[in-house]
Structure 1
């Protein structure tokens, strides 16, 4: 039987950083002593808005595959691999395979908006690898428009962009006003963030910044009341390696 869980923005964890410079809402927050929020190989998901320019100071990562998607504005990234700041602009994506360890810093400019997602690529393997990362621009993504749907494929499916975590697909889709019926894989979990506008997903009313998790479903029914913009992550319902 199909399962759908819906979190409004108010139901997601909120974190205010650096005196209000950054505000995050987290569809998937870090685990606590009492509760684990991660599922599949998707460990963490944060949406950040920069009310003022500020900087995350140098800090370490290891093991995780960490992806940043710049939705608006500009982010400047520094790390111990290149030892210099490199800019990411609206529409860009960065993938860090943090492997055996690296440190990085992020300068996020006022008015910017971004996603950061962490995946578990199988720690017993990833921790043995040298850390690396790559930046991608809009020209690196497979783009398509048909039957009222504009798609931007970041990873998986038709995309050849390298990622360490197996079985995932990440895309943005914009649906023109209307009704849509799309086939799903019942062995895949679909994590959907509503970027803009309003409508229904499998008969569930959604608005901007809502988050939907769908599993054990073979169909996605969408009613777009206006141009509806969705950020969709697909990941396996069953993982063959230990998760943390």
Structure 2
């Protein structure tokens, strides 16, 4: 049953399932898990899956298929080399993003760069019945392609949303925010929307109305505003500064979501 009041939850590393590839040379935390995973936090609206992976130099996630979902990798460090059955062979550097709109089906593999690679892989769920009727596509973007806005103590990079060159079927927004020690981030949480925010660096305190919780590196912050009124999230960074990647999605969409599909 969907909540009717704002909620704020913190999911630490102990609640996140883990996985590996290439005989353990690539390791991941599944911060938002698939239905079969042991991760406590499952999907948030159409945000279906989120993993945080780190791989040794030249390690490989071997060729495997996808269909329907909009799947993107956001590179935190190093180089991620993408190869797929569309004929693509492309490196994406730190700060860049690669997007597969997998449509009727595509297979791909990912190779870690010479210095090793750290990245997120995130799955968004469009209307699957419509998506699988479309041909698959691939696109990638560099750090320089994204709008960065600054204000005192805050650097905010618009990865997904109206100001982003990344065009999706799912109405999602994503920001990558660096926050100076002691600075405050105020994020508007629109009516009937939810956020999932991953603590990439540092620790601090999140607040929503009367709710307040501390979070640290590796924690997933999950909050929703199921009311018709706009709200906001406030984060105050502790002494060493913070980096947060935040995804904002609708609580509900006007099409069936897996497994209802």
Normalising by structure 1, we get a TM-score of: 0.93
Q: Does 1:230 align with 2:244?
A: yes
Contact 1:68 1:115 in 2 (8 A): yes
Q: CA deviation at 1:11?
A: 1.4
- Cα distance, 1:39 vs. partner? 2.7
1:176 Cα offset (Å): 1.4
How far apart are 1:111 and its partner, in Å? 2.8
* Structure 1 position 182, deviation (Å): 3.6
1:10 counterpart SS class: helix
Give the TM-score of the pair, scaled to structure 2: 0.87
Aligned-partner Cα distance in 2 for 1:13–1:136: 29
CA deviation string 1:166-217 (max 9, x = no partner): x210110111122524432131101000010111111311111110100027
Corresponding position: 1:220 with 2:233: yes
Number of residue-to-residue matches in the alignment: 242
Give me the CA root mean square deviation. Answer: 1.9
5+ long unaligned stretches in structure 2: none
Q: What is the rounded CA distance, in whole Å, between the counterparts of 1:44 and 1:183 in structure 2?
A: 23
8 Å CA contact retained: 2:56, 2:112: no
- Which one of the candidate residues 174, 179, 182 is aligned to 1:175? 179
- Cα 1:182–1:37 shift into 2, 3 Å: closer
Between the aligned partners of 1:112 and 1:230, the Cα distance in structure 2 is 19
Unmatched tracts of structure 1, length 5 or more = none
The change in CA–CA distance for 1:230 and 1:66 in structure 2 (over 3 A counts) is same
Partner of 2:23, secondary structure, is helix
* 8 Å Cα contact 1:22-1:52 kept in structure 2: no
**Cα distance change of structure 1 residues 36 and 138 upon mapping to structure 2, 3 Å threshold:** closer
Alignment of 1:1-244 (within 5 A): 1-32=5-36, 37-82=42-87, 84-109=88-113, 111-165=116-170, 167-180=171-184, 181-202=186-207, 203-216=212-225, 218-225=231-238, 226-244=240-258
Residues 5-52 of structure 1: CA deviation (Å, up to 9, x unaligned): 211112111113332201110111121299992230011110001145
Cα distance in 2 between the residues matched to 1:36 and 1:190: 12
Contact 2:197 2:244 in 1 (8 A): yes
Q: Are the aligned partners of 1:183 and 1:219 in contact in 2 as well (CA < 8 Å)?
A: yes
CA contact (8 A) 1:20 1:51 kept: no
| 8 A contact 1:21–1:53 mirrored in 2 | no
SS in 2 for 1:20: coil
Equivalent residues of 1:73, 1:90 under 8 A apart: yes
Give me the whole-angstrom Cα distance separating, in 2, the residues matched to 1:197 and 1:141.
23
